[in-house]
Amino acid sequence: MFSVDSVLASALETIRLEAESVSKLADYINASFAEAVRVIHEAKGRVVVSGIGKSAVIAQKMVATFNSTGTPSLFMHAADAIHGDLGMIQPDDVAIVISKSGNSPEIKVLVPLIKNFGNSVISICGNEDSFLAKQCDIFLNTTVEKEACPNNLAPTTSTTAQMVMGDALAVCLLNLKGFTDKDFARYHPGGALGKRLYLRVSDMSDANEKPVVSPSSSLREVIYEISGKRLGATAVIDEDGQLKGIITDGDLRRMLEKYDNPAQLKAADILSAGAKSIDGGELATEALALMRKHDISQLIVTKDGKYAGILHIHDLVREGII
């Protein structure tokens, strides 16, 4: 029978057990872990990660994390490996084999074959007395006291421990490689995350119109330029090409409130001096930070110190930066 209290209690118990399994891993970060990091870091080949059942799913996640942080990796299913996929292992590769029990039939067949090839085998295993733990070159312990499953059967805390151990390896390797946000962007060019890491201001502003008026332009000309270029603002540039300021929709509204007869006003009378600007080579995230800091919707974009266009906050929304 459904009970809210029972559901919440079960969820909280699951989270408690999973958290304890992760916390316990601190006891297993030792010289063997450091040796595993060294072997992978110094390997000339790739990291081949293998497992079966739920451990195979964790292996796939580990491969994805390694690849995205600069450690070339590939996934090899343990069952498929002994039916032909062993051919993907090259002489300079390092193998990571993941298993909770370390005694699965496929694992018992696979590990000796990899070792016969001369490749190093690192195990991530929850049983230090298992075949895998005793046959591997480096053993990383992920033993858990209990699965979150009430029958202590479905892999839950054990797979969490495996995944966290893999993340720990990936982060250590990332730090050793001096992997930066620019490197990260190279491997994540798609989606909002990638854009935050590589999209430049000029990538957006260059596609926009470049509204501009002179200080002597009439109010009519100013309104026409702002409306026609659809960026909610126009730059004011003098005859020497120097930026004098910006006029926004907000400046026009404030002008109408201030003057009874604004028809005779010129751009120089209503512009906002000291317009906020940004170089087109800056990241789009820097533009967003500047807009938020000054509570504005447009930025003047410059190139080599000269006016190059306007960036609107809508450009950032469209590209998923916001």
Strand order in the sheet with 212-213: 212-213, 233-237, 243-248
CA distances 42 to 69, 167, 169, 171, 177, Å, are 16, 18, 14, 15, 11
77 is in an annotated binding site: yes
Burial class (CB in 10 A: 0-12, 13-18, 19+), 286: middle
Burial class (CB in 10 A: 0-12, 13-18, 19+), 131: buried
Alpha helix segments (H runs only) across the chain: 4-24, 31-42, 54-68, 78-81, 105-116, 131-135, 157-177, 181-187, 191-198, 201-205, 219-229, 249-258, 267-270, 284-294, 313-318
Round to whole Å and give the CA distance between 65 and 22: 18
Tell me if 54 sits within 8 A of 193, measured CB to CB: no
| 225-228 contacts, C-beta under 8 A, 24 or more apart | 226/252
Q: Which two tokens stand for residue 151?
A: 């029958």
Burial class (CB in 10 A: 0-12, 13-18, 19+), 295: exposed
Give the residue ranges of the annotated binding site for Zn(2+): 77
Give the residue ranges of the annotated binding site: 77
